[in-house]
Amino acid sequence: MKKEFEFINLKYKPKNDLVCLFRISPAKGLSMKKAANTVALESSIGTWTEVPGKDYVKKLGARVFSIKGNNIKVAYPQELFESDNVPNILSSIAGNIFGMKAVKAIRLEDVSFPKSILKNFSGPRYGIEGIRKMMGIKNRPLVGTIIKPKLGLVTKDHAKSAYEAWMGGCDIVKDDENLASQKFNVFEKRLAKTLEMADKAEAETGEKKAYLVNVTAETKEMMKRAQLAEKQGSKYVMIDILTAGWAALQTLREGNFKLALHAHRAMHAAFDRNPKHGISMMVIADFARLIGVDQIHIGTGIGKLEGKIQDIEEISEEIESKSVKATKERLAQKWGKIKSTFSVSSGGLHPGHVPFLIKHLGKDLVLQAGGGIHGHPSGTRAGAAAMRQAVDAVMKNKTLEEYAKTHIELREALKKWKVK
């Protein structure tokens, strides 16, 4: 006779399992135990009704080994997965469960990979240490910008804006998420002209400069664009990892380019904005690092974009900041041979935010300001200088107000954005 809760074993101790932490709101009239059992069966070997099967199949069933309040932990035997296939893994642990009647809401909060899966992925080519070596930046955060307006600029003006940002003090300049190869700014021309400006800025400043061109496209076209970027001497490429898809990201990483991969998280809020349903940014970041991105946007805790919303009606900035910090710490965690991933803070930032960000997230950080640089009263070059000056001030243990007394660009920025 079939056990009522055959996928629950609270005495089980995970060994070589993939472990997931879920937050569950059971459907009306359903117990937490019943909902947890249903999640485990649906995401492993079971289905909605009893189906005759072989005894050996039962050994592959997922096991709920912890139930605390609305949180459950589920252990999945490693044999359930094709261990080098991220789409396959996510189709199991984050597939049909989101649409089940047994749950009112369910959120995948965290994931832990067994060594049998970790060993099948290369992870980042460069990681934090490799990026620092490539860019010649030993101790401070990297300073970057996004070309604004994000769409509409013709190639000549796009490249000029990048040049001004580099000359002002930016280390990296990137395309925004929706700039691909539109008629007003064709990919091939933009790549060549902007890299030319990067070389010019390097020669004139004596600093390394990088252009993060967006290669997001249909997979074959994406690979062609990455090949062209490498051929023309680019240090990086950027990819919108969620809209391109996990398989496309794996394809790009396994192309073995000598390029750093910058991951934009466009569409992430469709997964992680609802605090009760979906997939956390932590999990998205984990899979991105596993595959091999060198940098990824994690949020800010301040600025125009939420890092995490705890209540749909009300944003808790304190908790939001903790979520961003936790993701940042996860990306730096030791994972055997897999290198760390640089965290990127971006979204509504200006120089006045720099002390908070470095205090809460540390120096191993990429600080990106778009409007907070290009919107400077004296233009892009001055905006980039102000952002770099803000970083320098913090690194020298000086307040922005003190540093601004002898740095006019920073002073103008603080006045513009009313920083006291």
Structure tokens that stand for 214 in this block = 């967006």
User: Catalytic residue at 374?
Assistant: no
User: Catalytic residue at 407?
Assistant: no
Show Cβ contacts of residue 69 under 8 Å, excluding neighbours closer than 6 positions.
Answer: none
Distance CA 96, CA 30 (A): 18
Phi, psi angles (nearest 5°) of residue 334: -75, 125
Distance CA 405, CA 409 (A): 10
Task: Please spell the DSSP secondary structure of 293-360, one letter per residue.
Answer: -SEEE---SSSSS-S--SBTTB--HHHHHHHHHHHHHHHTS-BTTBPP-EEEEESS--GGGHHHHHHH
Q: Which of 174, 209, 262, 264 is catalytic?
A: 264
Peptide bond into 149 cis (omega under 30): yes
Strand order in the sheet with 103-112: 63-68, 71-77, 17-26, 103-112, 278-279
| H helices present in 206-293, as ranges | 219-231, 241-244, 246-254, 269-272, 281-291
Distance CA 52, CA 207 (A): 67
Distance CA 14, CA 65 (A): 8
Q: Which of 73, 148, 174, 353 is catalytic?
A: 148
> Do residues 368 and 177 make contact, with C-beta atoms less than 8 angstroms apart?
no
Distance CA 375, CA 145 (A): 12
Distance CA 260, CA 294 (A): 6
Question: Catalytic residue numbers?
Answer: 148, 264
